[in-house]
Structure 1
Amino acid sequence: MSMTDAAAYSASPEEAADAATAAAARAGVEIRLLSEVGDFARVAELFQSIWTKQGESSPVNVETLRALSKAGSYVGGAFENGELVGACFGFFAAPDQRALHSHIAGVSQRMRGRSVGFALKVHQRAWALEEGLDEISWTFDPLISRNAHFNLVKLAATPTSYHRNFYGQMADALNGADDTDRMLVTWYVRDPRVVAACHGDPIGVADEPTASEPLLSVGEDLGPLRHSTDARIVRVALPRDIESLRLTEPARASAWRLALRETLGSSLEGQGRVLSFDRSGAYTIDRGEQG
């Protein structure tokens, strides 16, 4: 779809509510705001099952969720036949930003592939528009290819900055002992590209250059392979499954973290911006004027 076609989409609370209803129906779930202590306990248990090792505590507790809900922030849950199968919560940014920071979103393992996470985000956008907000931001691990595709392509979020070891050492079931580098993205909830994406009709980047040079690729040993180039438009490839590498070859996984930090991270810390993320699992980056 072109940006001209995108004009057919006009952001409004009513449009966003319709998109949220349709996304939930496609996923086969009911999504609603949570306000009861019992529901907060279920969220904590769900997140514990997703992120922590046996015997470790959840990354969020009932008291925090209760406080966020009471303060008017977003705490949403997805239900299938009365069972909580996904949840998402966030908190308001500084008042003049008219923004929400979405902190954690998670979906139970058995619901993967059902677009429950997408439905939760579309519901969160509908809530944000109803609250008069302009944007939602969150971080994700830029080494996980499926997360990059979800955030940059399926949701049409805009990468805004790269943060080195953002949370410090977490050593949970997903991050291992690796540094927690994160990419911050901003979701401009009124942008025609975002509106179209929420209706399941993502718009391609019209001005994306087709010619690019590799800056980081996957070597024959599945490790990171750096390339020397002065090109302005470059590609930074990701390993197919960094989460498995963290379990089986932690040293190689750490090498990938450093390589991505030195390529994608350094580009964004300079004048660079991410143009796209493609199906092969690579970022295309405009590094700006070099030198």
Structure 2
Amino acid sequence: MIELKKIKDIEDFKKLSEIQKSAWGFLDLDIEPHHLMTRVQKYGGLIQGLYFNGKLAGFTYALIGSWEGKHFIYSHMTGVDQKYQTQGFGFLLKKAQREEVLKMGYEIIRWNFDPLESMNAFFNIHRLGIISVEYENDIYGTGESGLHKGLPTDRLIATWNLNSDRVINKMKQKEPPIIENIPEKNLENFSQETAYIEIPRNIRSLKETNINDALQWRMKTRRLFESAFQKDYVVTDIVFSKDKKRVFYKLYNRFAIL
């Protein structure tokens, strides 16, 4: 049985520390403290839990934000205990978050994610329907936890327009789009209507086997995303090669699609 609800019990807030460690390999220094989260929940934030057979298996953690004169919800964390991953719980959490945020009167949720994490990028862009026009360099600094270790913590900024047709349609799709032929003329070429940026299939494995190659991917994609956004491109999808060994961001020039 799956139940989604706001977290209220102090013991459940304490359990979120263990979920953070399980989901991301966080060290104690990285953990978002439970006493802060209780205050966020009380004073305008939104912390929801997913309970599986009565056990807390995952959570979302969001706060009220403001950017360029517009108020929105900033989703700081969405995590699922490792033993419950690959069961679709992350999607259920984001779906519940969307529904509750709309009830609160907000239409936009923003967050950030590592552009080299291919499956998380697929989840955010293809399953949830976010777009991105913003890239930030090394926003957390280099840390020792599994999520932050080894590379600059560059992030794409996600914008989730909750009531858009794009989001509504994307949330009905599941399978990743397959591209039959690698679009070499559009690869890293920001003079066309459509452009593609390749990322490694599994950056975590690459970090373990060849940190120098992983760092080269980080610096190359940083340069490409910054160039693309300066030229008015929008990240709109993730596509896979036919053999699913290669992964590409798909970008459109925003003026070409208006």
| Bin of the TM-score, shorter chain as denominator length | 0.7 to 0.9
TM-score normalised by the chain length of structure 1: 0.76
In the TM superposition, residue 214 of structure 1 has moved relative to its aligned partner by 4.7
Q: Percent identity?
A: 26
**Mapped contact 1:213–1:235 kept (Cα < 8 A):** no
Question: Which residue is equivalent to 1:83?
Answer: 55
**Mapped contact 1:52–1:172 kept (Cα < 8 A):** yes
Find out whether 1:158 has 2:131 as its counterpart: yes
Gaps of 5+ in 1: 1-27, 217-228
**Mapped contact 1:156–1:193 kept (Cα < 8 A):** yes
Find out whether 1:147 has 2:113 as its counterpart: no
Amino acid at match of 2:58: G
Tell me the SS of whatever aligns to 1:125.
helix
Structure 1 residues 58 and 77, CA, compared in 2 at 3 Å: closer, same or farther? farther
- Looking at structure 1, the residues matched to 236 and 103 of structure 2 have their Cα atoms a distance apart, in angstroms, of 30
Find out whether 1:119 has 2:83 as its counterpart: no
**Mapped contact 2:23–2:81 kept (Cα < 8 A):** yes
Tell me the SS of whatever aligns to 1:76.
strand
Find out whether 1:246 has 2:212 as its counterpart: no
1:56 pairs with 13, 28, 31, which one?
Answer: 28
- Looking at structure 2, the residues matched to 104 and 97 of structure 1 have their Cα atoms a distance apart, in angstroms, of 21
In the TM superposition, residue 239 of structure 1 has moved relative to its aligned partner by 0.9
1:283 pairs with 249, 252, 255, which one?
Answer: 249
TM-score normalised by the chain length of structure 2: 0.85
Q: Which moved more, 1:94-103 or 1:127-136?
A: 94-103
- Looking at structure 1, the residues matched to 190 and 56 of structure 2 have their Cα atoms a distance apart, in angstroms, of 50
Higher strand share: 2
In the TM superposition, residue 230 of structure 1 has moved relative to its aligned partner by 6.3
Question: Which residue is equivalent to 1:65?
Answer: 37
The runs of 4+ residues in structure 1 deviating greater than 4 Å are none
Equivalenced residues, count: 244
Gaps of 5+ in 2: 242-246
Structure 1 residues 59 and 240, CA, compared in 2 at 3 Å: closer, same or farther? same
Q: Which moved more, 1:95-104 or 1:123-132?
A: 95-104
Q: Can you list the C-alpha shifts for 1:147-200, whole angstroms capped at 9, x where unaligned?
A: 1111111001111311111212223112322100000011111112212334x2
**Mapped contact 1:88–1:105 kept (Cα < 8 A):** yes
Q: Mark the structure with the bigger radius of gyration.
A: 1
Find out whether 1:264 has 2:222 as its counterpart: no
**Mapped contact 2:133–2:233 kept (Cα < 8 A):** no
Amino acid at match of 1:166: I
